[in-house]
Copies of this chain bind each other. A is one copy, B any other.
Amino acid sequence: MKYSHHIEFKVRDYECDMQGVVNNGVYQNYLEHARHEFLQTRGINFAEVTESGINLVVIRAELDYKNSLKSNDTFVVRSLVRQISRVRFEFQQDVYKLPQEKLMLAARITGTSLNANGRPFVPDMLTQLFITD
């Protein structure tokens, strides 16, 4: 797959639960951070967008857990994004354990952009997101 962005992480022990693996909910944290870093590379600063009254929101998340990350694991989140309607965009985000690049999680995150009244609204800057590398 042709990803547009990647970012490496290391598991932190507070992210592991009593099963000794990264808790399921934590993966959404990883994916969010990867998306925001991806946006940043396209000139979109999440905090500034939020302060300007525009809310980038997730409307659907689909996560397939393949294998469990553990203490001390390092991994990479690889992402790509495509526009799926006038006001919706979908991120494909896959988590691979390093150094073998073993697939740990495959996710599809659908988002939209809302103005201060909660109405879908795609600001011009978001078009930056869909420029193919």
Seen from chain A, the residues whose Cβ lies within 8 Å of a Cβ on chain B are: 12-14, 16-20, 23-26, 28-29, 32-33, 36, 40, 45-47, 50-51, 55, 57-65, 68, 70-72
Residue from A14, A46, A58, A63 with most neighbouring chain B CB atoms (10 Å) = A14
CB distance from A112 to the nearest CB of B (A): 10
CB distance from A9 to the nearest CB of B (A): 10
CB distance from A66 to the nearest CB of B (A): 8
- Asked whether, in the complex, the Cβ of B24 is within 8 Å of the Cβ of A13, the reply is no
Residue from A51, A55, A70, A72 with most neighbouring chain B CB atoms (10 Å) = A72
In-complex Cβ contact of A12 among B24, B29, B62 (8 A):
B29
- Asked whether, in the complex, the Cβ of A55 is within 8 Å of the Cβ of B24, the reply is no
CB distance from A92 to the nearest CB of B (A): 15
- Asked whether, in the complex, the Cβ of A13 is within 8 Å of the Cβ of B32, the reply is yes
- Beyond A57-B65, A58-B65, 17 additional pairs, beta carbon < 8 A: A12-B29, A12-B32, A13-B32, A13-B46, A13-B47, A14-B25, A18-B71, A19-B50, A24-B32, A25-B25, A25-B29, A28-B28, A47-B72, A59-B65, A60-B65, A61-B63, A61-B65
